[in-house]
Structure 1
Amino acid sequence: MSADSAHEFEKANRLIDRIASLRSVAVAFSGGVDSSVVAAAASRAGLDVAIAVTAQSPSLASSQLEIAIRVANEIGIEHRVIETDEINQDAYRRNDGRRCFYCKQTLYQAMAAIAEQFPQLKIISGTNVDDLGDYRPGLEAAANAGVISPLADLGFTKSDVRELAKHFGLSNDDQPAAPCLASRVAYGTEVTAERLRRIEQAESWLATRGFTEFRVRLHDRELARVEVPKHQIAELIHLDTDGSMTNAFLSYGFKFVTIDTRGFRSGSLNEMLVSISIPATPLSIHSTGESES
C-alpha cells in the first residue's frame, strides 16, 4: 500500500469510527460529494440505523435529485426523499440574506420527525471545515437543531472529502459543487417556483453544451448573469454568436442576459452582503427590447 493510500485509509477509518460512535444516524443527503462521503461512511459503520434523507422542493434541480437517488443506491444506504415546503414561507421567499437559515430549519424539522421513529437517532450533515469560512446561515439552523458534522469535527477539508470520495469509489467523486437553485437568486429578489424553474432550464442548457462549472444568477428585473470559468468565456461568447444562448434564456422568461467577465466564483452573490463591493462588468447585455431606464 502506498503512503497516499495508507493516508486515505486512515482518514476513512477515522470518519467511519466517528460515525459508528453515534449508533444511529440520518444523513442530510443532497447527493453532493460531501454528504455522499458521510453516507458512504455511515453505510460502513455497522450502525443500528443509517438513513439518507433528501429534501425535494422547487429549489432542488431534477438532475441533482437523480444523482442523489443513484448514489444512494450505489452506496446501499436506505434513502428517503421527503417533500419540504420552504417555498411557501414568506421569510424564505423574501430572500433577505437569511434564506438558507429558513431552508435548513425546514429540512431539519422534517428530519426530526423521522428521528422520532428511532431511539437516539442523530441527524448528521456533510459540512466540512472549508464550509465554515463562508457566510452560511444554514449552519446556525444546524446548530439549533443539534446537527452533528463529522467531517468538520475531524478537521476534514474539501480536499480531504474528494480523497475520501475516491477511496469509497463514489461515482460523483469529481462532481462540482451543486448548491440549491435558490442560491442563484440575488438577495432581495423574491424566490419563486417559476424563477427557480427558469434557472434550472438555463443551467441545463449550459450543461448539455459541455460546461461543467457554471452558475446562472438571477438578478432584479429578470436579468441572468452567467458565470463560467474565465478560460471558457471565449467559448461561451462564440457559442452565442448566433444568439442561441440569449434566445434560449429569453424563451425561459429572462429579460436580459449578461456574461460575467470575472468568471465563475462559488458564492459570488455573498459579495452583495458587504457594504463595499465591485459590480460585475458585463461583456454584453441582450434584451427583449424593453426600456431599462
Structure 2
Amino acid sequence: MQQITEAISNPKVKRAIELAIGPLLLFALWWIAFKGQLVNKDLLPSPVDTLRDTAASIAAGKMTGDFVHTIARVGYSTLIAVIAGVPIGIVLGAKAAIYRSVEFLVDFFRSTPATALFPLFLLLFGLGDFAKIAVAAFAAWLVIVFNVAYGVMNARQTRILAARSMGASSLRIFKDVIFYETLPQTFVGLRTAVSLALVVIIVAEMFIGATDGIGHRIIDAQISYSLTDMYGSILIAGAMGYGLNLMLLMIERSFIHWSGK
C-alpha cells in the first residue's frame, strides 16, 4: 500500500493520472449512455466497438490519407494566416489611431461565422482545395491580426519607457522590448487560429466537394450508416485538435518562459 501511495505521489505519475481522467470520464459516460439505452441504440454504437474498429482502421492505414490531407490543409491555412496576419497586426497595434480606424472591419468579419463565407469563397476560388484553405486562412488571419495588435498595444509601458530613458531607438525598442512582450498574446491568437482553421476545414470537407479528409470521412460514414466509422472519425478530429493545441502549448512554454513575469 505504501509503495502504491509513493508511486501516486510521484509528479509524473500524478500528472499521467490527471491526464487520463478526461478520456476515462468520456468513455464512462458513453458506456452508460449505451448500456442504459439513454440514446437510441441504432444511433449510438458501443464505445468498445468504436475504439476497436477505429484502431483497426488506423492499423490498416485506411485513415492515414484522410488525416494527412486534413492536417495539411490546416497547416497551409495557418501558415498563410501567420505570414499575412503578424505584420498587419504589428502595424495596426503600433498606432492606436490606425487600429481604431479599421476596428469595425476587423471585429465585423471576426464576428461573422466563417461558414457563412463559404458561398463567397466558392465563387472566387471554385470547388478545389484552395477554396477550403482560403476560407480557413481568412478566419484564422482575423484572429491573429486581432491578438497581435492587442499584444502590441498592451505591451508593458514601464519596460518601453525604461528602454527610451536609456536612449534606445524606436527600432531597438520594438525589436528588444515590444516584440518579446507581444509573443504570449501572439501564441494565444495562434492557438485559437489553429483550432478555428481545423473547424472550418472539417466543415468544408463535409460540404464543399471534397473527396478526402476527416470531414469527408465523417459525412461519408454518416450517409452509409457506418456508425463506428463516423464516431471514430469524430474522435480522430477531436484528437487532432487537442494534439495541435498541446504542441503549440509546449512550444510556447519552451520559448516564452518569461510570460507573466
TM range (shorter): under 0.3
Q: Which has the higher contact order (CA 8 A, sep 6+)?
A: 2
Asked which structure has the greater CA Rg, the reply is 2
TM-score (norm 2): 0.26
More helix by share: 2
